[in-house]
Structure 1
Amino acid sequence: MARSRVQTGRYTAEIDDDFVVFLIGIRINKLWKIHKWIGPFLSMPRMLRELRLQPDKGLLGARIALGGRTFTVVQYWRSFDQLEAFAKNPNDPHLPAWKAFNKKVGASGDVGVYHETYRVGAGQHESIYSNMPVMGLAAAGRSVAVGKHSETARARIAGR
């Protein structure tokens, strides 16, 4: 199914086993210092492209969001171990990009970065998508029509 096609009606996400939600973002603190933020800004799409070409590394899905000067990537990973392995592997694009960021930007305050990591136990999540394309956790797992036993958030989270 084309992910941009709207699914009319109400859907929820199903995903097997535990998974990790990883938020990573960049904030452009000094817009005029493009030479400081363009490298880190462009490195994330390259990383995501590589991860999509190598699904065995553990990335299940990702979505980029913009909020003011902050770009956030919401990522869904099969496990924390796979996320950490990608981050620490010198042959993957993250570690070289992180080293370049620290060398070029460091503690200057020109560009900010952050990340948050959440381990989610099997069945410890719920979601609803009403008249939306398949996105988020539904794209990382499966998009499933809401049924009579999954009408409410409480029912969806309790029913797993």
Structure 2
Amino acid sequence: MSDPIPRRMTADVDDDFVVFRIGIRINKLWKVHRWLPVFLAMPRMLRELESDPDSGLLRYRTSFGLRNATLTQFWRSFEDLHEYAHDADAEHLPAWQRFSSEVGQSGDVGIWHETYRVRPDDHESVYVNMPPFGLGAATDLVPATGDRETAADRLGPPADGESADDD
């Protein structure tokens, strides 16, 4: 575990990247035989991705709730994510096929995902007294000073039709 950095920092990202959020919701707690295999598939995928530095996965973080587990992943590109998801020799595609055939739309366990393609100047971050975290752990951290002092500075110029004061 890294120590907190005792100042304001921001993620230094000059290229496109992808934020991929995926999760599981246990709808019927007593149907362990339905949700446990789904739950256990993700660690296998993560080990596989971590063992391949060229996979495009930059970093991930898992969060747990009462009936939910959410995984936030940072990817180098959508193409890398898509390639992994459709690779017949990787862990994901067979796991997805098993879920579809064994659980399907039974309602016993839910899965979901959201994909966000992020372009330069369309994101900002700040970390104060934090160890590397989130996007800052997936990329480089730099001091949030000078032209990176405020959220508006870090976010870049407004898009066409927006003013700097838009919320």
**TM beyond 0.5:** yes
Tell me which amino acid in the other structure corresponds to 1:78. R
**TM-fit CA distance, 1:6:** 1.5
Question: What does 1:5-16 correspond to in 2, within 5 Å?
Answer: 5-16=3-14
- 8 Å CA contact retained: 1:21, 1:119: yes
Task: After the TM superposition, list the runs of 4 or more consecutive aligned residues in structure 1 that deviate by more than 3 angstroms.
Answer: none
**TM-fit CA distance, 1:149:** 2.3
- 8 Å CA contact retained: 2:10, 2:126: yes
- Once residues 121 and 42 of structure 2 are traced to their aligned partners in structure 1, the CA distance between those partners, rounded to angstroms, is 30
Query: SS state of the match for residue 14, structure 2?
Result: coil
1:42 and 2:1 are equivalent in the alignment: no
Corresponding residue number in structure 2 for 1:103:
101
1:26 and 2:21 are equivalent in the alignment: no
Mark the runs of 5 or more structure 2 residues left unpaired by the alignment: 158-167
Question: What does 1:130-149 correspond to in 2, within 5 Å?
Answer: 130-149=128-147
- Once residues 144 and 45 of structure 1 are traced to their aligned partners in structure 2, the CA distance between those partners, rounded to angstroms, is 31
Query: SS state of the match for residue 116, structure 2?
Result: strand
Corresponding residue number in structure 2 for 1:72:
70
- Once residues 122 and 40 of structure 1 are traced to their aligned partners in structure 2, the CA distance between those partners, rounded to angstroms, is 35
- Once residues 6 and 32 of structure 1 are traced to their aligned partners in structure 2, the CA distance between those partners, rounded to angstroms, is 41
- Once residues 88 and 122 of structure 1 are traced to their aligned partners in structure 2, the CA distance between those partners, rounded to angstroms, is 27
Corresponding residue number in structure 1 for 2:119:
121
Q: What CA RMSD, in Å, does the superposition of the two structures yield over aligned residues?
A: 1.3
Change (3 A) 1:42 1:4: farther
For 1:75-95, what per-residue CA distance to the aligned partner results, in whole angstroms no more than 9, with x for missing partners?
Answer: 111111111110011101000
For 1:10-57, what per-residue CA distance to the aligned partner results, in whole angstroms no more than 9, with x for missing partners?
Answer: 111112310111111000111111111111111111111111110211
- Once residues 92 and 34 of structure 2 are traced to their aligned partners in structure 1, the CA distance between those partners, rounded to angstroms, is 17
Percentage identity across paired residues of the two chains? 54
- Once residues 73 and 105 of structure 1 are traced to their aligned partners in structure 2, the CA distance between those partners, rounded to angstroms, is 20
- Once residues 121 and 72 of structure 2 are traced to their aligned partners in structure 1, the CA distance between those partners, rounded to angstroms, is 19
Aligned length: 157
- Once residues 16 and 31 of structure 1 are traced to their aligned partners in structure 2, the CA distance between those partners, rounded to angstroms, is 44
Give the TM-score taking structure 1 as reference length.
0.93
For 1:119-159, what per-residue CA distance to the aligned partner results, in whole angstroms no more than 9, with x for missing partners?
Answer: 11122110011111111101111111211322211111127
Mark the runs of 5 or more structure 1 residues left unpaired by the alignment: none
- Once residues 82 and 158 of structure 1 are traced to their aligned partners in structure 2, the CA distance between those partners, rounded to angstroms, is 26
Tell me which amino acid in the other structure corresponds to 1:14. D
